[in-house]
Amino acid sequence: MSHNFSRRKFIKTVGIGAAGFAILPSLYSKAAPSDKLRIAHIGLGGMGNNHMKWFANIPEVDIVALCDVDELHLGSTLKTLQELQPGTKAQTYGDFRHILDRKDIDAITCATPDHWHATIASLAFQAGKDVYGEKPLSYDVKEGNTMLKNATKYNRIFQLGNQIHAGDNFHRVVEIIRSGAIGKVHTVRLWKTGAPPDLGSPSPEPVPSTLNWDMWLGPAPYVDYIPAKCHFTYRYFLDYSGGVFADFWCHIADIVFWSIQPKGLKSISSKGEAPTGIADAPKWINVDYEFDGLKIHWTTEPPDVPGAAKRGIGAFFEGDKGTLICDYGSMEITINGETVTDIPEIPKSIPRSPGHQQNFVDAVKSRSQPESNLAYAREMTLPMHLGLISYRLGRPLQWNADKEKFVGDREANGLLSRKPRKKWDLL
């Protein structure tokens, strides 16, 4: 798509001139040199506030803007920032597109609901800004591909917000698995307990005057306002997210893709149950994946293997010489009937992270991709989307990893992407 067409489409869709704002002078402007990285935070719920606090504690960062479609979130977060940094001059916005046009902003963080992740990140890349984006990476498979194409085309830096990746325990697990200590891994069992709450069957309500509901929905299908569909509990609706499964997949599947880099996905088979009430993300979901030489099993309850029952989330690696079980902060390796928490003889070969957010800041300054970069995050996230598609269709699916298409299944392939609402088709 040409620069001129892209810009005309963007301005036509935005329509902000009628709202009294200046028409965008340039989507491709570069920020002036500065000793500090100037960051704006978009999406200011619970995780967005975590973003703000994390980056506020990094000396090389200057928080220059905050954005949310809910005025209550916006005001509350500004107050918190003012308490952390009494001299802050951060400006507030209800529309992220004004942030993207500011020449003095180098990077954004995005902690919106999942269905906005890809659009905001892709437009940020086009605007010459780097992105620290919350998980899951995208709402669907096509969106992840769009993000990667834009990041590559505009030479942008991206870090996925799977903060556990930066921890020493995950680094150490990768070193031990890669060392061959438990042999060739043939099976991995992943799990995360938890289910959507019973949200009842509420009726639509008037939209609060402080909330831009139409923009909150954005590319998702239009529905009347129901509080349970908004803010934190949005994740239990398939129009916006994928429940506990989508929320936690990247936190624990990360250790598998980092340590053994599964390739050649062939099949996906999901079973699950819908929750009680208006939510429709899985109450529970079990997914079996078959890769070349590797099987990955996801369950909502801990599998029947040693050490799993005491962990609400975890990974159990089965190799031909032994096993390794881990969660975010611990691991146990069992070889020849003996269980240990480390193998000191295996050297530390992976540089430790300075912190997930600091890693992003360092990457932006050096123009090198951080650990949880977009290419890696897209590949690691893709099986999660496919598991949800199998769940929604209620049948096993065959996958062509080279073409990234389901084999002989038009209905399943139709769920790899979703057409945005016309008003919010910004890409």
Residues 72 and 22 grouped into a single domain: yes
| DSSP string of 217-271, one letter each residue | HTTSPP----GGGSGGGGGGSTTT--HHHHHHHHHHHHHHHHHH------EEEEE
Domain of 59, CATH number, reads 3.40.50.720
Judged by DSSP in three states, 180 sits in coil
Residues 187 and 151 grouped into a single domain: no
Q: What is the pTM of this model?
A: 0.92
Residues 105 and 183 grouped into a single domain: no
Roughly what angle, to the nearest 10 degrees, separates helices 356-366 and 46-56? 60
Q: Give domain status of residue 356, yes or no.
A: no
Task: Give the pLDDT confidence score for residue 35 in this predicted structure.
Answer: 82
Residues 287 and 222 grouped into a single domain: yes
Phi, psi of 60 (to 5 degrees): -80, 0
Phi, psi of 129 (to 5 degrees): -115, 145
Residues 142 and 186 grouped into a single domain: no
411's CB contacts (< 8 A; 6+ apart) are 393
Task: Give the pLDDT confidence score for residue 34 in this predicted structure.
Answer: 53
Cα 246 from Cα 400, distance rounded (Å): 22
3-state secondary structure 312-361: CEEEEEEECCEEEEECCCCEEEEECCEEECCCCCCCCCCCCCCCHHHHHH
Q: Give domain status of residue 358, yes or no.
A: no
Cα 91 from Cα 288, distance rounded (Å): 47
Q: Give domain status of residue 85, yes or no.
A: yes
Domain ranges, residue 261: 167-351+374-423
Domain end residue (candidates: 164, 186, 221): 164
Task: Give the pLDDT confidence score for residue 13 in this predicted structure.
Answer: 36
Averaged pLDDT of the chain: 93
The count of structural domains within the chain is 2
Query: Do 304 and 314 touch, CB atoms closer than 8 A?
Result: no
Residues 263 and 291 grouped into a single domain: yes
Residues 28 and 148 grouped into a single domain: yes
Domain of 265, CATH number, reads 3.30.360.10
Residues 173 and 149 grouped into a single domain: no
Q: Give domain status of residue 332, yes or no.
A: yes
Q: Give domain status of residue 360, yes or no.
A: no
Domain end residue (candidates: 130, 164, 198): 164
Residues 117 and 266 grouped into a single domain: no
Domain end residue (candidates: 141, 164, 187): 164
Q: Give domain status of residue 366, yes or no.
A: no
Residues 68 and 18 grouped into a single domain: yes
Residues 245 and 132 grouped into a single domain: no
Q: Give domain status of residue 369, yes or no.
A: no
Q: Which residues of the chain have pLDDT under 50?
A: 1-33
Residues 115 and 74 grouped into a single domain: yes
Q: Give domain status of residue 364, yes or no.
A: no
DSSP code of residue 164: G
